[in-house]
Structure 1
Amino acid sequence: MNNQEINNLVHQLYQAVDNKDLNYLDSHLANKVRFRLGNNPVVTDKSDILEGNKQFFSSIESMRHCIEDIVYQLCDRSGTIKASSYGTVDYVRLDGSEYSIVFSTFLKVQNGLITDYLIFADLSGL
């Protein structure tokens, strides 16, 4: 993957998240994946990850991510890509009120599928 493809991967992932698109997540997460959102425990079962995202998506009206930067490393031997991104995310709660935070995400991609998806954000205000 080149720089543009990695940027596209991160932007497409967050567009899918903003759209609450579980089908996208299902097709882009590896079967062996490590996921963490905020201070929650790490989850490794893909079906549990999808169910957790479904529950999170239903707990808010909407969200919009604005990515400020993406940094990546390509490991030539294995073809693994490690990407880090950060930015802001604006949430609209179910009651219509708004909440904005900064976030940082670390991804590991192998064979075109996400194997690590670690999101660091303070979700306590939601």
Structure 2
Amino acid sequence: MTDDPFSDDPFSDDDREVPTVSCERCGREWELDREVDDLDPGSHAIEQFALDHERHTGHYPDGVTPWIARCERCPDGERFLAERPARRWARTHARHTRHPVRIEAPRGDDEVVAPGDGEDGS
């Protein structure tokens, strides 16, 4: 317990587990204590750090492999750290452009979302 009688946090800062991210290519490791403090509850500090790291260095930290949704007819495409937003982007792009979109999973087989897939709300 903390000595501060007005604190809502039953754990002291010393007891809190701080996420750590490493990158073998950069030869570095980061503790995300400041990132966790700066984000709202429910935010994903590790995911945000991974996206920022890739934006600045051109590669992801260790253990992070994105889902890639890539249009097969035009240069559009996006990278995501979770399956759900990758599939949503693919369905939306296919619906609006009538282009097929390839989803490249971090592990497993690729899948193509064809125009018209999921338009019945599925």
User: Scaled by the length of structure 1, what TM-score is found?
Assistant: 0.22
User: Scaled by the length of structure 2, what TM-score is found?
Assistant: 0.22
Relative to its length, the structure with more strand (as a share) is 1
Determine which structure has greater relative contact order: mean sequence separation of CA pairs < 8 Å that are 6+ residues apart, divided by chain length: 1
